[in-house]
Amino acid sequence: MAIVGSRTVVADDPGYRRRAADTLRLMHRWGYAPTVSALADDLLGGAVDERLLLRSIGPSDSFRCIGEFVCLRGWEHLVDPSRQRILLNGLRNPEARGIALEYARDLASLCPFVEAIALTGSVASGGYRPGDDVDFDLFVRTGTKYICYLAATLVGLKYSWRYRSTDLDSLHRTPVLPKITCINVVWPTDQTRPFVRQDAALAFELRRCEPLIGWARFRKVLDDNPWIRGYFPQTYDKVAVDRVDRARGAWAGFLSWMGRRPGLLRATETACRRVGWVLYHLTQAFRERDPRAREHMAFLRRVKYPYEVFQD
């Protein structure tokens, strides 16, 4: 028995083992095995002391601890790639974060309808490796989802051109130019008050979000969705400030003017959806030539549903 904070916990508490197994299933679904420390921090039901967690899950028929990594039995094949990712992340993550900050600044200065830009994916979680793209979730004004999506796509072309010699793997490769940045989800305000989906997988996605711009907006999303506490209460312990200042670019004034004219805004949103749809499906058609990429895209459509860009 030990004291953690103000709580007394039992080292072999079977609840820890159940929570660890459920959390690992989420992580394995995304293709990685965490370190024991990362599992303790991101545990469903709240963070726990690493040493207590380790005592609770091992030795066990359900878990494998391999060095500092842990996985469910049958998923040992994820450990070596995960170890390699962490090693490469230490070398390349600063460069990827530099791209993320510059991209967030560019997008925010272009499009005033983007209220929060959150870094996510491998760069945010500490598993970045060369060949990955830099992933973002966007929180935007209601009625501007496709204006923001198209703006984000166009801003991304700057980085595709700058890093045009980058060789991406088949899961991230796109025609003509490499896809350096990736918009995972665009959430208009009306879709977050509250979320229609209220499950562990969505709570895990929000847990992994690292706001670069719009921290107060992201915090409001959390406050509007108290159900997240039932899965990852530690998400509410985040204390942060915006990492990037929101400048006002040349196009921002025009878009702000348009935003005060509902009819014009709706027409522009419709046009941007059509252009975005064409660009999105051209990219998807190119990547579907590769079976691994096709399987990966199908997986992403399932886990994002109903929030994947064109699932509305």
Residue by residue, pLDDT tens for the chain (312 residues) are 333 333 333 444 558 999 999 999 999 999 999 999 999 999 999 999 999 999 888 778 899 999 999 999 999 999 999 999 999 999 999 999 999 999 999 999 999 999 999 999 999 999 998 888 999 999 999 999 999 999 999 999 999 999 988 877 766 777 778 889 999 999 999 999 999 999 999 999 999 999 999 999 999 999 999 999 999 999 999 888 899 888 888 899 999 999 999 999 999 999 999 999 999 888 888 877 888 888 888 888 888 999 999 887
Q: What is the pLDDT of residues 205-219, one digit of tens each?
A: 999 999 999 999 999
The answer to whether 232 and 209 have CB atoms below 8 angstroms apart is no
Q: What does the alpha-carbon distance between residue 194 and residue 206 come to, in Å, rounded to a whole number?
A: 13
Q: Whose CA is closest to 286, among 170, 132, 182?
A: 170
CA angle 306, 311, 312 (to 5 degrees): 90
Peptide bond into 306 cis (omega under 30): yes
Q: What is the pLDDT of residues 37-67, one digit of tens each?
A: 999 999 999 999 999 999 888 778 899 999 9
CA torsion sign for 239, 85, 48, 185 is positive
pTM: 0.91
Q: What does the alpha-carbon distance between residue 247 and residue 210 come to, in Å, rounded to a whole number?
A: 20
Relative to beta strand 181-188, strand 134-140 is parallel
CA angle 191, 146, 247 (to 5 degrees): 95
> Token pair for residue 77?
């094949």
The answer to whether 203 and 232 have CB atoms below 8 angstroms apart is yes
The answer to whether 210 and 119 have CB atoms below 8 angstroms apart is yes
Check residue 280 and report its DSSP letter: H
The answer to whether 265 and 148 have CB atoms below 8 angstroms apart is no
